[in-house]
Structures are given as C-alpha cells and as structure tokens.
Amino acid sequence: MKTFLAFLLACAPLGAEVTVIKNATIMTESARGTIKGSVLVRDGKIAEVGENVMIPAGATVIDASGQWVIPGIIDCHSHIAVDGNVNEGSVSVSSMVNIKDVINPEDIAIYRALAGGVTTANILHGSANSIGGQTIVIKMRWGKDAQGLIFEGATPGIKFALGENPKRAGNPQPGGRGPAAPLRYPATRMGVEDTIREAFNEAKQYKAEWDAYDAAVKAGQHPLPPRKDLKLEPLKEVLEGKRFVHAHCYRADEILMLIRIADDYGFKIKTFQHVLEGYKVADEIAAHGAGASTFSDWWAYKMEAIDAIPYNAAMMAKKGIVVSLNSDDAELMRRLNTEAAKAMKYGGISREDALAMVTINPAKQLAIDNRVGSIEPGKDADLVIYDQDPLSNFSKVQKVLIDGNKYFDRDQEVSGRPRKEAEKQKLIEMEKQQQRIPTGGRRGQ
C-alpha cells in the first residue's frame, strides 16, 4: 500500500502539494455560505478556507481575482466512461453485471465533463431491466486508468428501472429491425412490480440461509456454506444496507409502488432517478427518506414524461427531500451549473440552494458528503474556478482541480490547440501516404 501511495504521489503534477487559490468569490456550499477569500489546498485536501489565508512558502498560487470558486460538480446520473452498451437487456434482473467491470478511462466524455466543472459522477447501468446492473462512483481523473477513476470507498449501487423502459422488451416493437426478438417479461407496470418482488422474495430467503450459516459459524459450528448466487448477492447487500438502490422512474404510481416494495422487504431506496412526477408524491418520498435526482426541464420526449414540470426540483426540496439535478447525458453533463440556475427560475430556490443541487446534495445522495460536495477543511480538493458567477449563462470553467491536482485549464487547452491541430494534420498526411502504398492488404483487418 505504501509503495502504491508513493507511486500516486510521484504521478501527481509538480507543485501540487500546496496550492492557494486567492482573491476569489467562494461559494462554499457549507454553513459559511459565499465568501471572498482564499482556499488553501494541501496534499489533495482542502486545508483552509477564509478571508485571510496565509500563503505558505513554495505554494502554487492561483490568482482568481474576479473569479468564482465552487465545489466540484457531482452528477448523480451518468453513463459516460462505459465501454460498449450500458444495458444487459437479455434478462429482467441483471444484478449480476457490474458497470465497474467496463469502465473506459479513455472516453472523451470524461474530459468534456471536466471542462464543464464535473469532478464526480455516479455511473449507472441502463434502464432496460426492472432490476439492472451494479453501479459505481467515479472521479474525472482524466489520464488515469480505470482503477484510478474509481471513487475510493464510495458505497456501490444498483440500478432499478420502472415504467416504459423495462416494459419495452415485453412488448412487440412495431417497425423493429431484424428478426422479431422473443418477448421478455414484464410487459406492464404490474409485471415490473412482480419482477422486483420475486427477486427480493428470493434474496430474502438467500440472506436467511447466509445469516443462519454465519450464526452457526459464530457459534463454533462447521456447517457447509450456502451456494453463492451472483444475482442475489447484490440484492442481499441492498437488504443489508451495503448497496444503494438508484431507481429510474417517471410516474407517481410507480414511485409509490417501489416505496411500498421497499417497506415490505425492509430496505431503502437511496435515490429516485428522473422522478419527473416526484412532485405528486413528494410527501411519500420524503417519508421514505429517499433522495430525488431529477432533470431540470426535460419533458414530453416520451409518454411517461408528459406531466414533467420544471418546478419538480423546487417542489420536492420544499418537502424536505434532498434533491439533485442530473444529466443522464454526456452533453447536458457539461453545464449542470446553469441547470441549477433553473431551480432559481422555477420555484424560487436561493442561489446557494440551487448550486447545492449539483454539489453537496448529490454528495449526500451518494453518501460521499464527508469527502466532497462543499468547500470545507478536510474535504477533497475538488474545486472549479469560473470566470464569473457560475449560475450565469455567460460563465465559463477556467480550471478544475481534483484531489488538489489540476485536470483542466482552459488557457492551456486553448493555447494548445494549434499544436494539436498541426499534429492531427501530420497524422492525416501520414495516413494518406500509407493509403497510396500499393499493397495487396488493407489496414484494419
């Protein structure tokens, strides 16, 4: 472990040990609110925040005069950095598969997300199954390998999905291409409920077998262990509170349905995702203690999004629900700061509370708020510097730090473009030259 740490430190850019961002307007998203001053970063952590911060000798100083600093943005619903299809759609319950196994650290979407101020994202399996695959939280450490992206210690999750998407494979596809695929249960919201109940009925028995085994071992006996079931293992973890449920949902009826399943089987829904009709059952969601991660203003792209309203986030927040705004999209992901501004427009949320919906609130929903989501001493130095008010549509990300290391710098990006373009042209020329060589074989075979 020590050698590994030494390796990590060796990899860190020079001068990353102590950095001071000074003269900035800092939206701390903590009890301190918004202040003018400095952030001192030491060894990847925020060491000090305040109006008057002493600059240690040898520190890297970033003068952010006229600029704004916010905590790194957290996207609670993303599918970037996934190698290939995000859906294992062949079965109604695909809890045995794990997004962690297919993280692609070279996805350009990671860099683009960085350029939009995102430092952490919840990477989810798709929504083709009532119970989908396992999920993982990553940091946008562009340049690191797959292991290096994973948010150390973050509780893993599992995707559930309700409504139209999990039903789709159970209904004939009009105009579908290719030979007709066999229909897959379920085809209705009734079937979605049953699928989830059947799975937890199994999981509960499975857990009972293991609990009995564990108790026997504890009592000094030597029983045979039950057979390990890779489908039920993650559901057992859900029942034990060791794995979070992130449930894709739209309509009020299905939200309520899942709350009741969770009540019956004794587990919690950590977040309702999309949850576009959450405003209709906000009391029930609040009573269950689930978070809600929604779109700011997407609607009408499908039938179950027809009653979506942009006031959803504000209405749920007013009922005491921890609300985040997510992207579910590599493009939208790059501008979650201005998505937060929509919570100000629709429902009158304050500036700080609006920005919280893309910083500290998603951190709470993922239970990583001890590490990220606000600018407070002891937390990871995941910081974004904007040229102006980040809730303004005119703002641009200037720099992004993760663990105190700079991963994005707009000035460097822009000044480096001519060199990259020249390099690209050179490669194209080389490619063209190669194509002209009259050989029998073809490339890429």
Q: By CB under 8 A, how many residues form the interface with other proteins?
A: 50
Interface with other proteins, residue 391, by CB under 8 A: yes
The first and second tokens of residue 440, run together, are 């029998």
Tell me which of 112, 144, 159, 274 binds other proteins, using CB under 8 A. Answer: 112
Give the SS3 label for residue 431: helix
Tell which positions 66-85 bind other proteins, by CB under 8 A. Answer: none
Q: Verify binding: residue 248, other proteins, rule CB under 8 A.
A: no
DSSP codes of every residue in 5-44: HHHHHHHSPTT-SEEEEEEEEEE--STT-EEEEEEEEETT
| Sheet with 291-294, side-by-side order of all strands | 73-78, 118-123, 131-139, 157-161, 244-249, 271-274, 291-294, 323-325
417 lies in the site for other proteins, by CB under 8 A: yes
Residue pair 105/145 in contact by the 8 Å Cβ criterion: yes
Nearer to other proteins, 205 or 425 (CB): 425
- Residues 6 or more apart in contact with residue 70 via CB below 8 angstroms: 26, 27, 29, 117, 337, 355, 359, 375, 383, 384, 386, 390
Place of tokens 């890297």: 60
Q: What is the DSSP letter of 301?
A: S
Which of 4, 57, 394, 441 forms a contact with other proteins (CB under 8 A)? 394
Residues from 278 through 337 that contact other proteins (CB under 8 A): 279-280, 283, 297-303, 305-311, 315, 330-332, 334-335
Count the residues in the chain: 445
When asked if residue 170 is in the footprint of other proteins (CB under 8 A), the reply is no
Contact call for residue 274 and other proteins (CB under 8 A): no
111 binds other proteins (CB under 8 A): yes
- In the complex with other proteins, the residue whose CB is nearer, 112 or 246, is 112
Closest distance between other proteins and the C-beta of residue 249, in Å?
Answer: 17
* Minimum separation from the CB atom of position 395 to other proteins (A): 6
Virtual torsion, Cα 28, 33, 36, 42, nearest 10 deg: -30
The residue to which tokens 């705004």 are assigned: 325
Q: Which is nearer to other proteins, 48 or 387 (CB)?
A: 387
Residue 221 burial (10 A CB sphere; 0-12, 13-18, 19+): exposed
| CB nearer other proteins, residue 371 or residue 399 | 399
40 beta partners = 20, 48
Q: Is 81 exposed, middle or buried (0-12, 13-18, 19+ CB in 10 A)?
A: buried
Q: Which of 393, 411, 433, 439 binds other proteins (CB under 8 A)?
A: 393
**Least distance CB 345 / other proteins (angstroms):** 5
Q: Check residue 345 for interaction with other proteins (CB under 8 A).
A: yes
Which positions from 146 to 165 touch other proteins by CB under 8 A, shown as an x/- string? --------------------
d(CA 372, CA 388): 22
Q: Does 255 bind other proteins (CB under 8 A)?
A: no
Q: Give yes or no for residue 213 binding other proteins (CB under 8 A).
A: no
Q: Contact between 6 and other proteins (CB under 8 A)?
A: no
Cβ atoms of residues 399 and 408 within 8 Å: yes
Residue of 62, 115, 258, 285 interacting with other proteins (CB under 8 A) = 115
Give the shortest CB-284-to-other proteins separation in angstroms: 11
186: cis peptide before it, omega within 30°? yes
Which residue stretch of 29-37, 95-103, 191-199, 387-395 sits at the interface with other proteins (rule: CB under 8 A)?
Answer: 387-395
**What are the tokens at 62?**
């970033």
443 contributes a contact to other proteins by CB under 8 A: yes
Q: If binding is defined by CB under 8 A, does position 392 make contact with other proteins?
A: yes
> Judged by CB under 8 A, which of 396, 412, 422, 430 binds other proteins?
396
Stretch touching other proteins by CB under 8 A, among 104-112, 138-146, 210-218, 222-230: 104-112
Collapsing DSSP to helix, strand or coil, 397 comes out as: strand
Q: Which residues bind other proteins (CB under 8 A)?
A: 108, 111-112, 115, 279-280, 283, 297-303, 305-311, 315, 330-332, 334-335, 338, 341-342, 344-345, 347, 391-396, 413, 417, 420, 424, 428, 431, 435, 442-445
